[in-house]
Every structure is written in structure tokens, then in C-alpha cells.
Chains A and B, each alone.
Chain A
Amino acid sequence: MAKLILNNVSKDFGTGRPAVSGLSLDVREGGFLALLGPSGCGKTTVLRMIAGFETPSDGAILLGERLLADPSRSLPPERRNMAMVFQSYALWQHMSVADNVGYPLKVRRVSKDTYQSRIRDALDTVRLADYADRRPAELSGGQRQRVALARCLVTRPDVVLLDEPLANLDRHLRQEMEETFREFHRRSGATMIYVTHDQREAMALATDIAVMSQGKLLQVAPPRAIYARPEGRTVGGLIGRGAVLSLAVPEQMPRTLEWDLLRELLENPPPGNRATEDILVRPEDVRLGGEGSAARVRAALYEGERYSVTLQLANGQTLQAFSRDEPRPGDIVLVTITSAWRLSPENTARPA
């Protein structure tokens, strides 16, 4: 096994806008990378290029030293030693569960004993040993998903690809399957790439998250880092909740801003047309009541464990907050922002 390298990869289907452009990404051996982005952002195309179903129109894909594909040649999927869990599971309905799981072994012509024992191991791992002789049509959605996963296990692939594998399952089954995926990753040690548009899923499963939008890779980082320190307005808007303020931050400030400075910027903005920049404020960092700046409650939405509150600041900008008590729309409340994050790394502020 080795590191999977995508080097400046682009894919243009000739539709006018490239599906993927200039994407570079290293996936460390044994890593669990989530490719996260809204639908149509090119994440599935990236996955299909790694699998070999699409060929990059520019750049190269390597597994360690071995070239998998560049624009002039491509190793076909059947020679890449990868495995994939498809959104539709892609089980062959004319074969039993055991035959589905064992097919990659059958193609590789392993001995009969190895064949049987590897199938048994794989089905044990996904807790389906009793279902070996069933047909896929007789199984529930979650069971089918586990068969597809077992099929990935049998050959010890270098890379396991998962294409929105939980999209067709209900919420309860999803949590159970997430647990199965985590365990699968821990036991197999395979490099896994997981395409999803659900950031909660990505946060819960992955060791690293790669955020894509409009064919471009925006940021790669571990889940906690990407939540705490998103780069740029798009990632800030995609990951987690929160409001983006436009404030004229003085130069030479750290990325994390504290209340004293924020209060100053909110209540006494520097005069003139100073350039402003994007400041992300998470709702859990907004405290209501006590002291602080005045804000008007615009809306409050009950979410079960608390209210999600939309506030309008004195300067007209919008802020998100949580509250245990029900605020009434129109009320004036006092807010304190305990922490905020400058989305741009430098003071590349836009002129106002």
C-alpha cells in the first residue's frame, strides 16, 4: 500500500465548465478522507477518476510510485486493486450473497479453501454470516449495504472508495452503518475515500475532510481543524453553522478575534471607507443576555434542544445564536461574541 496522489488533476466533459479543475491532493496510507461538497461540485468525478471509470483530461493520479492515469494512458479499473461501495450498492441479483462477496476472489482464481474462508471472514465482519445463501433481493437496505462492504473486504484492496453509501438509508440505519464503516476502517487499515454531501457524516467518520466546490478543492484538514479554522468564505459557509460579518479589521491582527476588538468594530466602526473582510461567528460563540451590544431578534426557530435565533445587529448585519429561552421577535437583547474567525489568511481585505 502507498500514498494516493492526485497531482493537478482536471476533468472536462466538454460541457463548457470543467467538472474538476487543477485538483491536487495527497491521501496518506491508511487515511480516511471525506470528499465533501454540494451536489454537482465534482466530488463523484474525482472518485470515478481514482477508480478508473474516468480519465483525467489533465494532471496525473499515482498510487505511491505507480502511475494510475494521466491524459495519455490509464490503468483500467480491473487492474487497480481498488474496491468501491456504490450508492445503489450494485449487488448482482442473480447471485447469492456469498457469490456476490466472493466474486473478486473468483476472478482472481484463488484456491477453494481460501475462497470459502475469506468469504466467511468478510461476512462475519459485517455480521451477515447467516445470510450467505440468501439473494440480495431478500435483504433490507442496510443488509445490502453491508454485503457491498463485505465485497470490498475480501481482496484487501489498496484503496476503498465509497460513493454516498448512506444516501439511500434512513436515519437510524445511517448511524449503525457509520459505526460499521469506522470499525471496517480500523480493522482493514485500507485507505478510504468517502464521497458525501453530508458534513455531519464526514465529521463523524473521516480522519481528513477535503472540501470541494465548483470543481475546485478548497481546503483539506482534519474535521476539528476545518470546523475551527475554515479557509475562505465558501468553506466557512459550507462547514457548520454561523454568520459571516463584514468588518473593517485593523492590520496585524491574529486570525482569532476577541470580544473587546469586535465590540469596538461593531459599536464604533472606524470612519471612512475602510476595506472590510469576512469574519465567521459560530452560534455557540454568541452569548445572549447580561451585557454587550444591543441586537434585535428577527426570528427564533425551536429545534428541540434549544432555539436557533436570528439577530440583527445595530449596523444592520445578521448574527446566529442559540438560546434556551424563547426570545420574542422584535425584542432588543444584549449579545457578546466570545470568539470570531477571520476567514482570509491575510489582510486581503476588499475595498468597500
Chain B
Amino acid sequence: MSGYVRPGNSQPALLFPFIAGVVVVLSVLPLVRLAMTGLSALAAGGAISVLADRALWAAAYYTLVTALWGTLISVAIGAFFAFVLTLTDIPGKGPLGFLFVLPMMIPPQVTALAWVQMSGPSSPLLKALGMAPPLGSPQPLYSAGGIALLYGVQHAPLVYLALRAGLMSVPRDGVEAALLSGASPFRTFRDIVLPLALPGMIAGAAIAFVSCIGNFGIPAILGIPASIYTLSTLIFTKFSAFTDRTFGEVALLSGIIALISVVGLAVQERALGRRDYRIAGQAGARATFSIGGWKFIFLPLLAVLLFFMLVAPFLALLAGSLVPAYGVPLTFQTLSFHAFEEVLLRQTITRTAFANSLFLATVTALGLLALSVLAGYVLSRRRDAAASLVASLIEIPYALPGIVVAVAFILVFAAPLPVFNVTLYGTIWIILIAYFASFFAVSLKPVVSAYRQLDPALEEAARLAGAGFFTRLKDILVPLIAPAAGASVILVFLIACNELTVSALLWSTGTQTLGVVIYNLDDSGSSDVASALSVLVVMMVVIMMLLLEGMAKHLPAGVVPWRS
């Protein structure tokens, strides 16, 4: 008889193998290849030359030191904002929170560029205000301290978000009970709130640390001019001086970065795993301390911090894009839109970059959406070990620093593909595949949470109505998860459009992305054009974030990463 299916299998039989196959290509193959290359370099004695290299130890030292200080700064700023914006009745929480998380979504090389424009002797902004230090004095940000400071600013939102998620679950009645027991607000904070918030803080610090380790844009712009290298910029420079040992060396370096990251991720996992003194009491009833007159101190403090983290750098960037050439002070006479004309109309390189980045971001966002709709279905329905293995494999390339992913994909695709005899390296397709791997987890998360929220009966009713898998996918499931799918597309587009780390290693002539062009322009001294491009990028980021913010009402919790 026909039409029967094997028992225990209510899904199309090939769906899970298809997803598993995609994950093998995107996650397993590159990482296995990376590990094998690293190990064979070790076996061939390449380790000795790498490990004997003083540059490696210097880079490892700077990576750790800048990351640790950066994490510390992130925790200080992020925790302050999280406590004040989550626990107190300070006015203007919504806009303050949105502004505070903005730096997270702005590409790090743009942040670095903006801060360089804001300080130092040739800052157009300081010159316009008459506050610039004398010519010849050093740019203070070209230092390990500068890198750490910018790490701190860039990743403070990560700490803020992790800690806020923890604080949101502090029950209001627990706080009220402590106050009724006679504890002062300060004591209540110390004895009740802080212990509940600690795991979130540790998790936020760990994820900030991992992000610092993998950051490329900030040390590339601030470190390379001062000959300060981190592991990721060291890999980058090794590729520009390519020898026959390069592959083995960068595989080892990537392995070191990956190891440090895994330690950080394990700390985060543990901290979140222990957060289970969960919490009797009304869910969602947030603890609100009345700060009364303190708001006249806190509010200006928050405003000043936001001014220096956000407003001043952006104004400096804007000023830098409006001067006719680097070092010229900005006045009404010198003001010109020359750089914007260059970016938008004259230079083919920036137009190519726009085209490339928009193409890559669009195809990545839509392609991953199609994959996520299928993978999300399988992963939310199957609860077995194979499904959770696939889910973790999808997470790995996103959790690992982009530079590691890029190296892994170079190793896989440097040689021509076996059957087709085509080389992907040097084409835009290798960037596309690496983006698919890196951002699959970003795309999948909103879709999976939307699937999990669906009542299974909705699909079962469609099955009894006679609808086969693809019919009910089209008629029932996709329309029901549409808001989350939309958020997934915007998020991936936003991140892919601004990506630098992966494309910095994978680009070649004609396949430059926006991130690469901004870096190259700045590197070659055209900081006015780089600034103009950055201004456009920042505006795009803000518009898309506002778009998502507007959609947030219709989305499952946790889909928009900066809302909890």
C-alpha cells in the first residue's frame, strides 16, 4: 500500500538530513579543516617557529591585557546603566536604553574612526572648537589603553543586556519584603538584588571578554599605526606577507584565539546555568527603587556618559566628513560635501563596496531565512540528541571570533573545489558562504523562538485538514512566524552589511565590502572619505534599529537583541 510513513516520523524524511548536511558544510568542515591544518603544522615542527616568534607572545599579551581592561570598563559602564535603568524610577528609560545599546550595532572600525576624529591633534571637531592639542602631540588612542577603552565602550551594551535580563527577574515582592523587614534600600540592594544579579553580570563580562578577544576593527585602526598587534590583527598582517608557512601559522594562531574564546564561553555558560534560584513571586513585577532627588545626579551623569560614548564621536565623525581634507579645521568657509560626493558619485570603489555589501547582506539575510524556516521547524519539533547537536554546531561559528571563521574558510576553499574545479577563494562567494556560517545562529534564533511559541495544535489542525508539509508551511506556519522572520532578516542584514572581520581576510579586488573600504580608506589617509562613508553607515544602522524597535511589540520576547 502506498501513502504510509514510517512510524515516529511525522516530518518529511529528508528535512533533517538536509539541515544536518548544510551544518556540516558551514560548521563542521571548516573547523575540522582548521584543526587539521593546525595539528599538521604542529607535527611538522611549524609550532616551534610560531611559538619562538616574539611577535606571537607580544600579540597574545596585548590581546589578553586589552581584553581584560576592556571587559572591566564594559562591566563598570554596563552595570551602572543596567542598575539605574532597570531598578529605579528614573525618567526616560526607553530612549536612554536605546541610545546606550547603539554602540553594540555600530561597526567597531567606525567607532574607532569616530573616536580618532574626536581626539588627538588633528581632530576636526576639537579644531573647530579651538580645543585641539598642539600639532605633533601624539594621538592618545593609538595605544593599548585606547584599544581597551574602545573595547569597553563597544561591549558595555553586552554587559548591560545580560545583567538586565537577570535584574528583570528580581521579584518586586522580594524587595518589598526586605524593605518591610527594616533593611535600608542600600542594604536591600546589597543583600537581595546583587546576589540575584551576579550570574547575569558574570555572563555579561564573559561574553564581553570573548567579543574583545575576537575584535578586529578597533585594534586594526588604533593598534597597527602604533605597532601594537593583537592576535587577530597579527593574523591579518601574516596574510599580507604570505609565505608557504602562512597557512600553518595562522591555523595555530586561530586555534589560540578559539581556545581563549571557548574558555570565556564556558564561563558564561556556567554562570547562566547556575542562575536558578528561580524565583518565586510575580513574574515581570520589576523591583523599582524610588531614587527621588538622586535623579538630579544620575540623569546628568548618564547624559554625560552617553554624550562621550555616542554623541561626541558621531559629531566628530560628521565634522571629519565635512572638512575638505584631513587636518583642515572645520569652519563655515571650509565646510564641504566633497567627501559625500566622492563616496556616492565619484569613487567607483565605494560604489562597488555598497553594491557588494548590499548584495552580500541581502542574499545572506534571505538565504538564511529560508534555511532558518526549515531548520527552526526541525529543531523546535525534534527533541533528540541529534537535534541539539545540530543546534550547537550552528552556534559555534557565531560564537567564535570572525577571524577564526575566516581563516577556516580560507583553508577549505583556497584549493579548487574537487568536482567542479572552481576556486572560490578570491571571489565574492567565499565571503557569502562565510557569512552564512557566521550569521546562521543570528537568523535562526528569532525563528526558533517563534516556532516554540506556536501551539502545536495549529499545525496538527492543518494536517487533519489534509495539508502536506510544504502546503502547511506556506499557508499556516510561515504566516504565523512572519514577524519573527522579518526581524531575523533585518538583524542579519544589519550585521552582515557592517561586517569587517571576515571580509577583511576574504576580500580581493572587486569584492571589497563597506567595512573593508572604510578601513582601507582610513589606512591610506583619506579619513574624510572614510568618515563620510561611516556617517552613512551609522545612519543606516540607526534607521534599521528603529525599524526593529517599532516591530518589537509583535515579536516574541528575546528576538530583538537589545530588548529584554
Contacts and interface: CB of A to CB of B under 8 A. Distances in A.
A88 B455 contact: yes
A84 interface: yes
B464 A80 contact: yes
**For B467, B468, B479, which residue has the most chain A Cβ atoms within 10 angstroms?**
B467
A81 B3 CA distance: 13
Nearest to A77: B463
A75 B460 contact: no
Most buried by B among A83, A106, A107, A108: A107
A90 B466 contact: no
A107 B468 CA distance: 9
Among B7, B461, B475, B479, chain A packs the most CB atoms within 10 A around the CB of B461
A107 B455 CA distance: 21
Interface in A72-102: 72-84, 86-88, 90, 92-94
Contact of A90 (B1, B10, B461): B461
Interface in B467-520: 467-468, 471, 475-476, 479-480, 482
Nearest to B6: A73
B5 A74 contact: yes
B8 A55 contact: yes
Contact of B4 (A73, A78, A88): A73
B7 A84 contact: no
Nearest to A106: B475
Interface residues of A, number: 35
Contact of B458 (A69, A75, A78, A92): A92
Contacts of B464: 51, 77-78, 80, 82-84, 104
B410 to A, nearest CB: 45
A104 B466 CA distance: 6
Contacts of A55: 7-8
Interface string B1-20: 10111111010000000000
A259 interface: no
Interface in B421-463: 455, 457-458, 460-463
A87 B464 CA distance: 15
Given A78-B467, A79-B3, A90 B458 contact: yes
Contacts of A92: 458, 461-462, 476, 479-480
Nearest to A69: B7
Contacts of B475: 103, 106
B460 A90 contact: yes
Contact of B460 (A79, A84, A94, A155): A84
B465 A51 contact: no
**Interface size class of chain B, counting residues whose CB lies under 8 Å from the partner chain:** 20 to 34
Contacts of A155: 465-466
Contacts of B466: 78-79, 81, 104, 107-108, 155
A73 B460 contact: no
A213 B479 CA distance: 40
Contact of A86 (B4, B460, B471): B460
Contacts of B7: 55, 69, 71-74
Contacts of B10: 53, 76
Given A92-B476, A94-B479, A104-B466, A84 B4 contact: no
A92 B461 CA distance: 9
Contact of B463 (A73, A76, A87): A76
Contact of A107 (B6, B467, B479): B467
In the complex, which of the residues A75, A78, A87, A151 has the most CB atoms of chain B within 10 Å of its own CB atom? A78
Contacts of B462: 92, 103
Nearest to B461: A90
A149 B5 CA distance: 28
Given A53-B10, A82-B464, A107-B465, A75 B4 contact: yes
B461 A84 contact: yes
Of residues A55, A72, A90, which shows the largest number of chain B Cβ atoms within 10 Å of its Cβ? A90
Nearest to B460: A53
A205 B84 CA distance: 60
Contacts of A53: 10, 460, 463
A151 B463 CA distance: 13
A118 to B, nearest CB: 13
A86 B6 contact: no
A90 B1 CA distance: 32
Contacts of A78: 463-468
Nearest to A79: B3
Interface in A112-163: 148, 151, 155
Contact of B5 (A76, A90, A108): A76
Contacts of A94: 479-480, 482
A80 B460 CA distance: 13
Contacts of B468: 78
Contacts of B458: 90, 92
A69 B465 CA distance: 19
Contacts of B463: 52-53, 76-78
Contacts of A87: 457
A51 B461 contact: no
Contacts of A84: 460-461, 464
Interface string A24-53: 000000000000000000000000000111
A74 B461 contact: no
7 contacts: A51-B464, A55-B7, A82-B464, A90-B457, A103-B462, A103-B475, A148-B461
Interface of B: 1, 3-8, 10, 455, 457-458, 460-468, 471, 475-476, 479-480, 482
The 6 A-B pairs of least Cβ separation, nearest first, read: A55-B7, A90-B457, A104-B465, A73-B4, A90-B461, A77-B463
Given A75-B4, A94-B479, 10 more contacts: A53-B10, A53-B463, A73-B4, A74-B7, A76-B5, A78-B464, A78-B468, A104-B464, A104-B465, A107-B467
